[in-house]
Amino acid sequence: MSKQALIKKALDTAGAAGNPGSTAAQIAILSERIASLQAHLDVNKKDKHSRRGLLQMVADRRKLIKYMKRKDPSGWADLAPKVGLKG
């Protein structure tokens, strides 16, 4: 899925129209990149450099989720099922 489509889906969900740098958009983009990298690592098991990048993206997304839960719980409740994360 393209980055613009991910941002549109996140913004429609979180109601942050016109702000592609919003927390919801960043979480949606990171979730898609994480899924893509996981598929790559399933095929290329010895790619340790990409695995490190994956762990960093997961940590970044975890921080954003924690922030969003604290600042906008209703927005997180709307976003979580759309992105495919636990609510």
Per-residue confidence band for 22, with pLDDT thresholds at 50, 70 and 90: confident
- pLDDT computed for residue 13 by the predictor: 56
Domains in the chain, CATH or no CATH each = 3-82 (1.10.287.10)
Distance CA 70, CA 76 (A): 9
Range 41-47 average pLDDT = 97
Highest mean pLDDT among 33-37, 54-58, 83-87: 54-58
> 27 and 9 in contact (C-beta within 8 Å)?
no
pTM: 0.84
DSSP state of 46: T
Q: Which stretches within the chain are classed as H helix?
A: 3-14, 23-43, 48-71, 73-83
